[in-house]
Amino acid sequence: MTAILIYLLGMALVMVIVAGIGIFWAIKSGQFEDLEGPAQRILMDDDDPRIPRYSDSRSNR
Amino acid sequence: MEHPGCAEKTCFHCALPVPPGAHYQVIIEDVPREMCCRGCQAVAQTIVDNGLADYYRHRTAMPGAGHEVVPEELQKLALYDHPGIQKSFVRQEGEHVKEASLILEGITCAACIWLNERHLKQLRGVLQVQVNYANHRARITWDDQVIQLSKILEEIQLLGYNAHPFSAERQENLRRQRRAKDLRRIAIAGLSAGQVMMLAVALYAGAAFGMEDSTAALLRYLSLLLTLPVVFYAALPFYQSAWHALLGRRLNMDVPVSLAVISAFAGSVWATFQGQGVVYYDAITMFSLFLLSSRLLERSAQEKSVEAAENLLKLAPAMAIRVVDDQHLPVLVLELNEGDTILAKPGESIAADAEVIEGRSTVDEALLTGESRPVPKSPGAAVIAGSINLEGPLLLRVTGVGENTVLAGIVRLLDRAVAEKPRLAQLADRVAGHFTVILLILTVLVGAAWWWVEPGRAFETVLAVLVVTCPCALSLAAPTAFAAAGSHLLRHGILLTRGHGLETLAKVNHVVFDKTGTLTYGKPVLQRTIQLAELDENRCMALAASLEKTSEHPLAQSFLVRVARPELVPVQEAQNLPGKGVSGIIGGVRYTLGSSALSGLPAAALPGELPAGSTLVWLCDERRALAVFVLSDSLRPQARELVARLKAAEVRVSMLSGDAEDAVSHVAAEAGIEAWQAALRPEDKLNALRELQRRGNVVAMVGDGINDAPVLAGADVSIAMGGGTQVARASSDIVLLTENLLDIQLALQTGHASMAVMRQNFAWAIVYNVLALPFAALGMVPPWLAAIGMSASSLVVVMNALRLR
C-alpha cells in the first residue's frame, strides 16, 4: 500500500516539476505578453499552397 | 476590371477613390485591380510578389494610403545600421545576432501582423519576428552578417508600414521582467496549491474514515515539501512590503498577511514533525495564489494608464533632417538644438516643437488629441513634436527639443496626476492602516478568548481571523477605480492633470464658462457667403482660397480650410497688400480680396442683416463685387448641446466674460445660457466665482487655460481647452485635448461613475469585513474558506473598477 502510494506521489511530484518548468519556459519566451494577438492569429490560414509558386521557390532557396 | 454597377472606383489597396485618369494596376490572384497611386501600386506589387496575397482575403480593416516610396526615404534608413545609433534600441544577442525593438505604424488588423511576420521571416538572416497585436511593437532578431537592419526596415516600408526604433526599451524591459516574475510566483503558487489541495482532501478523508499514521505523515511531509517554494519564493513580496512598512513604523495590509502565512507555516511544520495537530498547507498556498493574482490584476489595470502616457513619448521620432545651407543632413533628434532648421517631409512625424518657416500643409495631431481632423499649418504656425505632417514638406525652425517639448510637458502633467493620491485614496489608506491595528488587537483578543475556552482551536481561529479580514479590498477600492477612469478619459482626449480631479467633478453642480476661445473658437470663422453676381458660391470660395494661398493673414486660414487642395487655381502676380487684403490674376482677370475699399469700386448694398461683430471680406473682379464673405468668431457647434445636456443633468450653467455686453448676450442666447455677466475684469470674474462658491455651489470653471489662469485656479475644478501648443502651460486640473466641448459632459459622467464605483467598492469591502469577522472569531470559518473569501472580495473590487474602462 505505502509503496504504491510513494510511487504515485513521486510521479505526481515529477509531473508538477515538469509542468513548472513548462510554465517557466512559456513565461520566459514571452507567451504571456500578448494575450490578444494569438487568438486573432489562429484565424489566419497561412498554410503554404500545394502547388509551389515562384515566390515560394525563391524563399526556399 | 470594370464594375458596371459601380459608379466610383476605389483603390483596391487603401479604399480611397481612384482619381479619374489614374491607371495603376496590379494583378492580384489573377484579377487586375485598380490602385489610386504609385505608392499603393508598389505596396500591392510587393505583397503579391512575395506570395502574400492572402492578406487581401483576410484583412478586416483598410491600411493607410500607400506612401510614396521614394529612394531618399530609403536612404535615410541606412543610418540605422550605424552602431552608435543602434546603441539605444538594439541588443547584442550573440556574436552576430542582434535584437531590436521596433514600433510598427499602420497596423490596423490581425492580417497586418500576419503579413509582417510572414514577410520578414522569409528574409534570409532574419531569425525571429514577433509582432505584438496589443501595442504594435515588433521584436526582430537577425544575423548581422547576413542582413542589415536597414534592409529589414526597408522591407517593412515596402509592405506599406512604417517601423521605427523604440527607445523607451529599457523601461519596457523592466516592466516585462517584473511581470514575468509575478507570473512565475503565481505559477509556483498555483501548481503547489493544486497538489497540496489534493493531498489535503486525502488528509481530511483520512481524518474522517481513518488512515494509517504513517500514510498521514507521508502526505503531510509531501505537503510541506510542496509548500516550501510558496512560502520561500512566491510569498516573498508580502514579507518585503510588510518589512518596509514596519521599518517606517507603519502598518499595511501585508503585515497581517505575512503574519498569517509565517505563523500558519510555522504551526504546520511543528505539527508535521510532532505527528499531531492540524496542518494548514492548503490554506497557505491558496491564500498566496489568490492574493498574488488579484495584485497582478490591479497592477495591470494601473499600468494601462501609465502606458498611455508612455505611448505619447514614443511618438517623437529618433531621426530628423537638418537643413544647413540647403544641404539636407539626417541627424539624431538628440543632436538638434533650438533655432535649427529642419525639414519635415509629408507622412513623417515632426521631430521637435517648431515654427513653420516655409511651406503649407496639414498636420495630424490625433495621437496627441485623439481627434483625427488634420490641422492646417502655414508659415508662422507652431507644430508639436510627434504630430504627423500630412500633405506638403514643411521647413521648420526648432523652438523646443527634448524635455522642453509640449509632448514632454503633457507627460509631466500625467505623471503629476498619477503621483498625487486623490483625497479619498489617502483616506482609504489611513482607514486601512487603522483597520490593521484594530485587526491585530482583535486577533490577540480572539486568540486569548479561545485559549481560555478551548486551547486546541485557538491557533486555527486566529489564523482564520487574520486571513479573512485582510483589508486588501479596502486598499484596492480607490486606486483601481481611479486608474481605470483615468485611462478611460485619456482615450477620449481628456487629460487629468491633478489627482483630485475626478473626485471634485462628481460633486460639481455649477459650470462657469468663459466666452472667447471656450464657447467660441476665439478666431474668425467663415459664417456665410453672400453672392453679389452670377458666380456660384463654390467658385467664389475657390477664387478666394487661391488668392489667400500666399497670405499669412490669420483670416486666410478660414478660406483655405474650406477648399480642397486640387480645387485651388494658379495665381499670377499675387500681391499682399498689408492691412487691406490680397490681389492676383487668375485666368487673365485681376481679382481682389479684402476690405471694401481695396477694389476701388463703390460699395454694393448688402441684403439682409449681419451678426454683430462680424468682419466682411469682399471678393471683386475689375468691374464689380462678386461676393461678400461674412466672418465672425462663432459658437463652437457642440456648445448648445452641451448646455442642454448639463441642464438636463441638473447642473447650473453660467457665463463670465470680459467682452462687451451685446457680443456676450448674443453668444449666451445662442448657447442657451440664461445667467451671464459681461465686461468683467479677471478679478471681477474671480469675485463672481467666489460668490457662487459662497452660496454652496461646487464650481467647475471652463476657460482657455492661459488668459483665465487666476480664475481657473479659484474654481473647485478647472477645465481648460488645451488644443495645440498651450497644453503644457495650462494651469488647470483637466485639459480637453480635443477642444470638443461635449467632453466636459463625458468628464462629469466619468467623475460620477468612478465615484459610484468607488462607493460600491468601499461598501463591499466594509460589509464583507464586518460580516466575516464575527464568524471567523467564533471559529466558524476554517482557514481555507477564509482564504477564498478574502481573495474573492478583492477580485470583486478589481473587476468592478474595470467596468469603468
Backbone angles phi, psi at B62, to 5 degrees: -80, 145
Active site residue B353: no
Q: Which residues of A touch B131 (CB under 8 A)?
A: 37
Q: How confident is the model at residue B411 (pLDDT cuts 50, 70, 90)?
A: low
- Tens of pLDDT, residue by residue over B295-309, are 787 677 666 655 655
Query: Which chain B residues have a beta carbon less than 8 Å from that of A44?
Result: 54, 58, 110-111, 114
**Mean pLDDT on B48-53:** 71
Q: Rounded distance, CA B774 to CA B740, Å?
A: 52
B160: region left, alpha or beta (phi > 0 left; psi from -120 to 50 alpha) = left
- The C-alpha atoms of residue B706 and residue B713 are separated, in whole angstroms, by 11
B465/B697 Cα distance (integer angstroms)? 45
For residue B360, give the amino acid letter.
R
More confident residue, B493 or B777: B777
Question: Which triple of cell numbers denotes residue B129?
Answer: 519576428
Residues of A in contact with B58 (CB under 8 A): 43-45
Has residue B232 got a pLDDT over 90?
Answer: yes
Beta bridge partners of B128: B141
B315 pLDDT tier (thresholds 50, 70, 90): low
Q: Which residues contact residue B159 at a Cβ distance below 8 angstroms, ignoring those fewer than 6 apart?
A: B43, B46, B47, B115, B116, B119
As to burial, measured by CB atoms within 10 angstroms (0-12 exposed, 13-18 middle, 19+ buried), residue A50 is exposed
Instruction: Find, among B230, B205, B228, the residue nearest to B215 by Cα.
Output: B205
Please state the ipTM of this predicted complex.
0.73
Mean pLDDT of B350-366: 81
The larger pLDDT score, comparing residue B415 to residue A6, is at A6
Contact by Cβ (8 Å): B586, B514: no
Residue B671's pLDDT band, with cuts at 50, 70 and 90, is: confident
Higher-scoring residue by pLDDT: B680, B726: B680
Cell of B180: 514575468
List the beta strands (DSSP E) in B158-249. Answer: 162-165
**Chain pair A-B, CB pairs under 8 angstroms:** 86
Report whether pLDDT(B501) > 50.
yes
Quote the pLDDT of residue B792: 81
Q: Is the pLDDT of residue B367 over 60?
A: no
For residue A56, what pLDDT is reported?
Answer: 45
pLDDT value of position B224: 94
Minimum distance, in Å, between the CA of residue B114 and any CA atom of chain A:
7
Bridge-based pairing state of the strands B625-635 and B520-531: antiparallel
Cβ distance B222 to A46 less than 8 Å, yes or no, reads no
To test the contact with chain B by mutation, choose from A31, A34, A48, A53 the residue with the greatest count of B C-beta atoms within 10 A, namely: A34
DSSP B367-379: HHHS----EEE-T
In this model, does residue B773 exceed pLDDT 70? yes
Is the Cβ pair A55, B49 closer than 8 Å? yes
Work out the average pLDDT over B83-91: 66
Cell of B611: 451678426
Pick from B504, B312, B326, B500: nearest CA to B423: B500
Q: Under DSSP, is residue B355 helix (H, G, I), strand (E, B) or coil? A: strand
**Average pLDDT of the segment spanning B581-602:** 77
Nearest CA of chain A to the CA of B183: how many Å?
7
Amino acid at residue number B622: E
Instruction: Please give the DSSP secondary-structure letter assigned to residue B563.
Output: S
Residue carrying the nine cell digits 488634420: B374
For position B68, what pLDDT does the model report? 43
Q: What is the pLDDT of residue B549?
A: 72
Question: Three cell numbers at B472?
Answer: 486588501
Name A51's Cβ contacts closer than 8 Å, sequence gap at least 6.
Answer: none
Q: What is the pLDDT of residue B229?
A: 94
pLDDT tens, residue by residue, B181-219: 899 999 999 999 999 988 988 888 888 888 888 888 888
Minimal CA separation from B202 to chain A, in Å:
12
Best of B49, B52, B133, B233 to substitute, by most chain A Cβ atoms within 10 angstroms, is B133
Nearest residue, CB atoms, A36 vs list B130, B134, B179: B134
Average of pLDDT values for B121-142?
A: 78
Chain-centroid distance, C-alpha B442: 45
The owner of cell 468668431 is: B633
Question: Is the confidence at residue B231, as pLDDT, over 80?
Answer: yes
Note the pLDDT of residue A59: 44
* Cβ-Cβ contacts under 8 Å for B477 (sequence gap 6 or more): B428, B758, B761, B762, B764, B765, B797, B801
Torsion angle in degrees (nearest 10) through CA of B518, B523, B526, B527: 40
Nearest of B523, B559, B557 to residue B632 by alpha carbon: B523
Residues B769 and B602: their CA atoms lie apart, in Å, by 85
- pLDDT surpasses 80 at B636: yes
pLDDT of residue B4: 40
Least confident of B87-96, B251-260, B675-684: B87-96
Mean pLDDT on B383-398: 82
What's the grid cell of residue B510? 455649477
Cα-only R_g, chain A:
22
Residue linked to cell 518548468? A21
Most confident of B365-379, B412-426, B654-668: B654-668
**B131: three-class secondary structure by DSSP:** strand
| A1 to B215: CB separation less than 8 angstroms, yes or no | yes
| Overall average pLDDT of the B145-151 stretch | 84
The answer to whether A53 contacts B51, with C-beta atoms less than 8 Å apart, is yes
Q: Classify B18 as helix, strand or coil.
A: coil
Give B196's Cβ-side CA count (13 Å radius): 29
To test the contact with chain A by mutation, choose from B52, B107, B130, B303 the residue with the greatest count of A C-beta atoms within 10 A, namely B130
On average, the pLDDT of chain B sits at 77
Rounded Cα distance between B374 and B391, Å, is: 10
b/e burial code for range B651-674 (CB count within 10 A of at least 16 → b): bbbbbbbbbeeebbbbbbebbebe
CA distance B170 to chain A (A): 16
Residue B169: pLDDT over 70? no
Contact B675, B652 (CB under 8 A): yes
How many Å apart are CA B355 and CA B400, to the nearest integer?
10
Report the alpha-carbon distance of residue B185 to residue B288 in Å, rounded: 9
What value does the mean pLDDT take over residues B268-293? 84
Work out the angle between the directed axes of helices B213-229 and B169-209 (0-180°, nearest 10). 170
Instruction: Using the predicted structure, report yes or no on whether residue B534 has a pLDDT greater than 70.
Output: yes
Between the CA of residue B729 and those of B375, B491, B519, B735, B741, what are the distances in Å?
A: 20, 21, 20, 11, 20
Handedness of CA B289, B292, B295, B296 (dihedral sign): negative
Res. B75 pLDDT band, cuts 50 70 90: low
Contact B584, B547 (CB under 8 A): yes
Beta-carbon contacts of B539 under 8 Å, excluding residues fewer than 6 positions away, are none
Give the mean model confidence (pLDDT) for residues B744-772: 89
Of B611, B607, B547, the closest CA to residue B580 belongs to B547
The whole-number pLDDT of residue B741 equals 85
Q: Walk along chain A (61 residues) and give the pLDDT tens digit of each residue.
A: 678 888 988 999 999 999 999 999 998 888 887 776 777 777 766 655 555 555 444 444 4
What pLDDT was estimated at residue B724?
A: 45
Give yes or no for residue B454 having a pLDDT over 80. Answer: yes
Cβ(B154)–Cβ(B77) below 8 Å: yes
Sign, CA torsion B46/B49/B51/B55: positive
Nearest to B667 by CA among B655, B650, B649: B655
Q: Which residues of A touch B (CB under 8 A)?
A: 1-2, 5-6, 9, 12-13, 16, 19-20, 23-24, 27-28, 30, 32-37, 40-41, 43-46, 53-56, 59
Task: State the pLDDT at residue B311.
Answer: 60
Chain B residues contacting A, CB < 8 Å? 49-51, 54, 58, 109-111, 113-114, 118, 122, 130-134, 176, 179-180, 183-184, 187-188, 191-192, 194-195, 198, 212, 214-215, 218-219, 222, 225-226
Rounded to the nearest angstrom, the gap between the alpha carbon of residue B112 and the centroid of all alpha carbons in its chain is: 22
User: Which of B51-55, B444-448, B591-595, B794-798 has the lowest average pLDDT?
Assistant: B51-55
Neighbours of B554 (CB within 10 A): 12
Question: What average pLDDT does range B535-548 have in this prediction?
Answer: 80
Close Cβ partners of B392 (under 8 Å, ≥ 6 residues apart): B346, B359, B360, B361
User: In this predicted structure, what is the pLDDT of residue B226?
Assistant: 93
List domains and CATH numbers for chain B: 1-69 (no CATH), 71-166 (3.30.70.100), 175-307+420-480+791-802 (no CATH), 319-404 (2.70.150.10), 482-519+636-752 (3.40.50.1000)
pLDDT classification of B223: cutoffs 50, 70, 90: very high
Cβ atoms of B102 and B114 within 8 Å: the answer is no
Contacts of B51 in chain A (CB under 8 A): 53-56, 59
Question: What is the tally of helices (H) and strands (E) in chain B?
Answer: 25, 29
pLDDT of residue B369: 56
Grid cell 500545394 in the structure block, residue:
A50
- CA distances to B20, B243, B296, B586, B649 from B254, rounded to whole Å, are 70, 9, 15, 79, 42
At B589, list the grid cell. 482677370
pLDDT of residue B128: 82
Asked whether the whole model's pTM tops 0.80, one would answer: no
Residue B287: pLDDT over 70? yes
For chain A, the distance separating the N- and C-terminal CA atoms, rounded to the nearest angstrom, is: 61
Does the pLDDT value for residue B346 go beyond 50?
yes
- Whether the Cβ atoms of residue B125 and residue B149 lie closer than 8 Å to each other: no
Greater confidence (B199 vs B545) lies with: B199
Which amino acid would we find at residue B800? N
The per-residue pLDDT for A11 is: 92
Q: Which residue carries 499595511 as its cell?
A: B252
